[in-house]
A and B are shown apart, each in its own frame.
Chain A
């Protein structure tokens, strides 16, 4: 057990301080637990959550194929234009567009799509782009919490449980969108002077030609209906007896069948590094589980909380937010899933999963390195001459995370305690 813990802790430390590519770190860690025979190969293979990997891969293909049509850019521009140049409405509509898109696309794609458009809007409106971008990042991490496919921690939880898409929506969407609305509004008031739009600049946002964003209308006609059907299928996957990964991969397969895009290029553009990162993590966590370390951690939590359910729920959600915020919410979730399985074993009590999902997803806002969209937005801002450093992000991320977690605490106490 000590070897498994040592290897996992070392890997986590390397990921947290960004020494080496996180995928390489995870794969080396997985190799280490296999070579030291901390876990045998058969068990390691079973430790990999193929459901989560299938769902991720399927959604990556769906998003890659549909984003080339320009439909998401169209939606973002329409959202911005709905504000008619008024700054509060602009912030609200961009924040809402980010939250909704991130609930159905992966968070990284959402940010990669929206940040360049936001820079353009900021130039057109002659305002500081950084408050808008930070608001989008926060909205992205909070909005992604709302659905089963919106954020990697949720995908991982779905892969390990039989919770349905509707379960996630019913339990997570209300608190995610309420928190998002308050956070976006509060950040607007904090930055309102920087976001003030001169009356003469207001009309410029309407000079964007939203229809012109549709890069390939014929491809959109081919893929659009499949995209809609795939999203609808998520809502009813449980009654029709399909796993979320089956829905995602079916949508992806049908899109690949009808698309005119190069299939090999599409498949090559999948984030293989992310998928292999997950594989490495699952094997390392499998070793923790196999050696009994997870059971000890779960027992430790039960001991600390004295077996009090409310204390356990709050302990899981707060530790997920803080630890996930300091390292990375993906390894945190991978570790916590078997712990939560142990704690909630046989009870059929789903509240533990919602506590974990809310903590892990909302914790993604705490630091620059806590979630992939944060890093991507900071890199793009830096390339555009507006660096967002670790401390600058922290000054926004910490208050937002703590406020969000107080909202979550109230929600858990009201709904699940």
Chain B
């Protein structure tokens, strides 16, 4: 079995109209750090994961602050009271970077994508951009560690 086959993970797909709150529950249930978001015709729209959820529930200016070391805990309530994006469609907050790979992707392409984009999953799509599964960064890491580990010497016993 090729490394690319071992990495492919089958996951539920989010639809652009699903709410942010529902999407977060699906992510937790799937065990993946993010899930693909698909349009009504099933084609890939983007991905939504832990990072996008954090961006959705905090006011937009939090990500625009250069550094938030001056915000004390006592202001958390004031900031979070502006939240309320849980009922908004997940499609608005999806990461739309072009990170999807085709089914015949090379391992080097995955490495490049994970190095250049701050994403935790890469969707795998077919020629019609229908999602076939995902590769998670943690699965990729585990597989690389496994491949890079020296082969243990054969045991004398037996």
Contact = CB atoms under 8 A, between A and B. Distances in A.
Q: Do A and B bind each other?
A: yes
Interface of A: 67-68, 70, 73-74, 77, 112-113, 115-117, 119-120, 123-124, 126, 204, 207-215, 380, 383-385
Interface in B76-130: 78-79, 81-82
Contact of A117 (B59, B65, B69, B79): B65
A151 B22 CA distance: 48
B154 interface: no
Given A208-B71, A210-B70, A380-B61, 18 more contacts: A67-B66, A70-B66, A73-B66, A113-B66, A119-B60, A123-B59, A123-B78, A123-B79, A124-B75, A207-B75, A208-B70, A208-B75, A209-B69, A209-B70, A212-B71, A213-B69, A213-B70, A384-B61
A77 B65 CA distance: 13
B66 A119 contact: no
Nearest to B80: A123
Given A207-B74, A207-B75, A208-B75, A116 B64 contact: yes
6 contacts: A70-B66, A70-B67, A120-B71, A208-B71, A212-B72, A383-B60
B77 to A, nearest CB: 10
Contacts of A113: 66
The 3 closest A-B pairs by CB, nearest first: A119-B61, A213-B70, A212-B70
Contact of B64 (A115, A209, A213): A115
Contact of A380 (B60, B66, B81): B60
Contact of A215 (B61, B62, B67, B75): B67
Contact of B65 (A68, A116, A209, A383): A116
Given A123-B59, A204-B75, A70 B69 contact: yes
B67 A120 contact: no
B70 A380 contact: no
Given A120-B71, A123-B78, A384 B59 contact: yes
Contacts of A384: 59-61
A117 B65 CA distance: 7
Given A380-B60, A384-B60, A212 B69 contact: yes
Contacts of B67: 70, 73, 213, 215
B36 to A, nearest CB: 24
Contacts of A120: 61, 65, 71, 75, 79
B2 to A, nearest CB: 37
A329 to B, nearest CB: 25
Contacts, number: 75
B66 to A, nearest CB: 7
Interface of B: 59-62, 64-67, 69-72, 74-75, 78-79, 81-82
Nearest to A112: B64
Contacts of A210: 70
Nearest to A67: B66
A209 B69 CA distance: 8
A380 B71 contact: no
Nearest to A124: B78
B70 A77 contact: yes
A105 to B, nearest CB: 13
A126 B75 CA distance: 11
B61 A116 contact: yes
A112 B62 CA distance: 13
Contact of B72 (A68, A73, A119, A209): A209
B79 to A, nearest CB: 6
Contacts of A123: 59, 75, 78-79, 81-82
Nearest to A213: B70
A208 B72 contact: yes
A153 to B, nearest CB: 27
Contact of B69 (A115, A204, A215): A215
Contacts of B69: 70, 209, 212-215
B64 A207 contact: no
A93 B36 CA distance: 46
A229 B74 CA distance: 38
Nearest to A201: B78
A297 to B, nearest CB: 42
